[in-house]
Amino acid sequence: MNTIADELTSHRFFAGLDAAHLEVLTGCARNVVIAKGASIIREGAHADAFWAVRSGRIALGVTAPGRGMLTIDTLHADDVLGWAWLFPPYRWHFDADALDEVHAVTFDAVCLRGKCAADPALGFDLAQRVAAILGDRLNAARMRLLDLYGSPQPG
């Protein structure tokens, strides 16, 4: 059976991570299985963890009165859920629900922040990886703002 360290090295988010850093991170990590339909995080709640998704899909969204949850993004294997744990005030911006049974490695945020403070090199590496993901998400969101497939005015 894979150890958490093996699972993390094969995850895209941690690709190429220094072995010593990986060792430190696993100290804050554990495997979780999230039932299909379960709520994982809630808007406004304390951001005390993040998840490296190994399988299954997660819907990220907002709940509007009378409209249920409106999905704004979906996360899949090799994605990570959550970055608000890294920046004060550590509050989630969106809801996340499991669309399938989700297998993930979850990290305790307080533990992680402690390790990052103790080892700035690790902190920088992790912050860079999160920043890269934020960049990708921002680009994807900008492309959606273009409304590429929208109808031009019929002329």
Partner 1 sequence: MTPVSHRVVGRRVETADVVTLQLEATDGSRLRYAAGQFNMLYAYAVGEVAISISANPLGGGPIAHTVRNVGSVSRALCGLQIGDTLGLRGPFGSDWGLDSAAGGDLVIVAGGIGLAPLRSVITQVIAERDRFGTVEIVIGTRTPEELAFKAEVESWRARSDLSVHVTVDRATPGWRGTVGVVTTVLPRVHCDPAAIALVCGPEVMMRFTALALMERGMPASRIRVSMERNMQCAIAQCGHCQLGSVFVCADGPVFTWERLEPLLAVRQL
Q: How many residues bind partner 1 (CB under 8 A)?
A: 29
Q: Is 128 in the site for partner 1 (CB under 8 A)?
A: no
Instruction: Give every CB contact of residue 13 below 8 A, 6+ residues apart in sequence.
Output: 52, 78, 79, 80, 129, 133
Least separation in angstroms between CB 136 and partner 1: 8
- By CB under 8 A, name the one of 1, 65, 67, 88 that touches partner 1: 67
The continuous run of DSSP H or E covering 126 comes out as helix 120-145
Q: How does strand 95-98 pair with strand 58-64?
A: antiparallel
Q: Is 136 in the site for partner 1 (CB under 8 A)?
A: yes
Q: Is 15 in the site for partner 1 (CB under 8 A)?
A: no
What is the CB-side half-sphere exposure of residue 59 using CA atoms within 13 A?
A: 16
Q: Summarize as ranges the residues that interact with partner 1 (CB under 8 A).
A: 12, 57, 59, 61, 67-74, 76-78, 99, 136, 140, 143-144, 146-152, 154-155
